[in-house]
Amino acid sequence: MLKIIFGEVEHGVYHPPTYFDNRYEDQWITHPLTVEMIRDIDKSEVVGTHLIESPVLGPISTKEISGGVKTLILMAFDKSGRIFNASACGDNCAKWIVRLGKQDDLTINLHHVMNFSSVPEFEAVIVNTGVVVHSYREYLEEAIKIKER
């Protein structure tokens, strides 16, 4: 299940792209899930472990993919128990965060109210309040309560 913590998190990874650059494993890059995420978010194709073909930038290294995709890859494959700052992702990553949370327990950290409105089946635990939300509207209501504190 997806769990969301708003605000600071002790031992959380505030800048996941830097963490990714120093911790990713080659096999993560060619995994079908990663290939799909890179194709969707960055509109790029994985050629190999160290080569991505971008329609905008041309051939790029794995370290040059977007911060959002790097964060998603960490959420999917890093089993260190770290909590990643999903505010490093754009709203175009929201559906992937929800999907990853359905596949496995996933706790993320947010410093803004991410737009999950495009995700039809949204469910998450807002850790700050302990409330389970079942829709984007309920999520917004809980986020507002936290921001008002």
The pTM assigned to this predicted structure is: 0.95
CA distance 30 to 49: 6
What are the structural domain ranges in the chain? 2-148
Q: Kindly state the tokens that stand for 22.
A: 């120093």
In tens digits, the chain (149 residues) has pLDDT values of 999 999 999 889 999 999 999 999 999 999 999 999 999 999 999 999 999 999 999 999 999 999 999 999 999 999 999 999 999 999 999 999 999 999 999 999 999 999 999 998 899 999 999 999 999 999 999 998 886 55
Beta bridge partners of 53: 45, 59
CA distance 28 to 135: 31
